[in-house]
Amino acid sequence: MPMSYTGGCACGAIRYEISGEPAAMVDCQCRQCQRDSGTGHQSHLTFVAAEVKVTGEASHWQTVGDGGTVKRRGFCPTCGAPVYLRFPDMPDVFIVTPASLDDPGRYRPQLVSWTAAGHAWDHLDPALPKFDRMPPA
């Protein structure tokens, strides 16, 4: 039986548990992910139709990504740490960053998206498939 993915914010006020395997593990270089992470990309574990339990109250803010996707980000109002990302138009999708996992070593990137917005100084695994924007479905 697969082990759940668990994690939360830096202070522990918000916790999550996800039963299921990620549909994708992606390093994204879009400008929004750069701004959110404070560096050249942000890494994501994307779960689709997984059982998700969140405890604690997150604060939220909403953005529109480079491709026009509306993103609703949940963060801890106490420590400010990002906890999860949702797409209002895709309620079955739940995304977390590897840094929020209790075991970040479980993250294994599969591809790089939005390389069109990437920077030469952001060195990602050259063996990973790369896409100028989002990969084809």
Residue ranges per structural domain of the chain:
5-117
How many angstroms separate the CA atoms of 48 and 103, rounded? 20
Strands 111-113 and 24-28: parallel
pLDDT digits (tens, 9 = 90+) for 76-129: 999 999 999 999 999 999 999 999 999 999 999 999 999 999 999 999 999 999
* pLDDT value, residue 1: 55
Query: Which fold, 5-117?
Result: 2.170.150
pTM above 0.95, yes or no: no
What share of the chain has pLDDT > 90, as a percent?
Answer: 82
* pLDDT value, residue 69: 83
Q: Which residues pair with 19 in a beta bridge?
A: 51
Please state whether 85 falls in left (phi above 0), alpha (psi between -120 and 50) or beta. beta
* pLDDT value, residue 3: 86
